[in-house]
Structure 1
Amino acid sequence: MTMPVKVWDVWVRLTHWMVAGIVLWNLFGPTDSTHRLLGYVAAGLVVARIAWGFVGSRSARFSAWWPTPSHLIDYLRSLVAGKPLHHLSHNPLGGLMALFLWLLILGLAVSGWIMRLDAFWGEEWPQEIHTWLSIAVEVCVCVHIAAAVLMSFWTRENLIRAMVTGYKRRNATPKS
């Protein structure tokens, strides 16, 4: 038996979609003052979301979805067995991807800021780091979207809709 349950609060959904929009704009738009400003806004939103991971709603908290090694192993085993464990919040791989994307976005903001400092004017390494981080973000975003679509079909739970509406279905015996 399943029933809808509110999982993602408005702050989680707002930061998710705002950061997603900013990242898409900054990956494919011009690299001008708007790019810089939006990069700093994205970093600020990520910092705010990280803070929300400590004080926010139950499913937004790190304690609800932190990808520990044992959780990752259990989840990977369930995938290999063809019966993915249901998680009310992020599954362990989704949680790992969220953390990785947040670190990359913060790294992009820092490397972008460093590129503008007089101390590093003319240095190529900050630009190279920024470029490699942006490529890593592109790859991770593609994997993130593909995984959300694939898992939505596999588990018959529309994860994209859940990030829009805030509701997921609760199985009779959810994992977390």
Structure 2
Amino acid sequence: MPKPARTDRSISAAADRQPASEGVVRVWDRVVRSFHWALVLSFVTAWLTSHSSEDIHHWAGYAAGALVAMRLVWGVLGTPYARFSQFLHGPATVLGYLSAMLSGREARYIGHNPAGGAMVVALIAAISATALTGWLMTTDSYFGVAWVETAHGFAAHGLLLLVLLHICGVALASFRHRENLVRAMITGRKRRAKQADVP
């Protein structure tokens, strides 16, 4: 006796019983996730101690600089989604993506989208500038030099602005694509690419 054909409802029920892991893909490796949250901690610590604890402020800045150096190496030698070659795009692509965002037509990317990739570069540059000028302020040659202090303050406030923009971008992308990107940076997993997504 032939088996009865599966209905749409039975197919849907079978899909619901499948392990959740079959619908997700590993994107962010442990190094990327650890770097991200350690950098968040070092930035918050440095910002909150800028006028209260000089030693902690300095060490938080050194930690941020060391983390960026590690990320630069991992951006070349790391896993596929961690590599700069995977998510860095030219200005035309970034502008095209931003234009699509304004009209609500931007594609979902499994890794960093073009705007996110550009933000990674901007954040790394701003953190590097902040850490470098902060270190210069502790040296004999540049201690008390006005332009170094001004540059450090400018870099730090620019970094804060970028962080706020980054948070807004993450919130917008999470809302638009119905995907919790904060959780993805904790678990390392994202929803698998569909036909319209960019793997």
Whose radius of gyration is greater, 1 or 2?
2
**1:1-176 → structure 2 map (5 Å cutoff):** 3-29=23-49, 30-173=52-195, 174-176=197-199
Paired with 2:198 and 2:139, the residues of 1 have a C-alpha distance of: 47
Deviates more, 1:166-175 or 1:42-51: 166-175
Paired with 1:121 and 1:43, the residues of 2 have a C-alpha distance of: 19
Paired with 2:151 and 2:198, the residues of 1 have a C-alpha distance of: 39
Deviates more, 1:119-128 or 1:9-18: 119-128
SS across alignment from 2:108: coil
Paired with 1:77 and 1:118, the residues of 2 have a C-alpha distance of: 48
Q: Structure 1: any 5+ residue segments left out of the alignment? A: none
Deviates more, 1:69-78 or 1:120-129: 69-78
Paired with 1:140 and 1:128, the residues of 2 have a C-alpha distance of: 18
SS across alignment from 1:168: strand
Paired with 1:172 and 1:24, the residues of 2 have a C-alpha distance of: 36
Which structure is higher in RCO with an 8 Å CA cutoff and minimum separation 6?
1
Report if aligned partners of 2:47, 2:57 keep a CA contact under 8 Å in 1: no
State the superposition RMSD in angstroms: 1.5
Shift of residue 31 of structure 1?
A: 4.3
Paired with 1:122 and 1:155, the residues of 2 have a C-alpha distance of: 49
Paired with 2:161 and 2:112, the residues of 1 have a C-alpha distance of: 20
Q: TM-score, normalised by structure 2?
A: 0.83
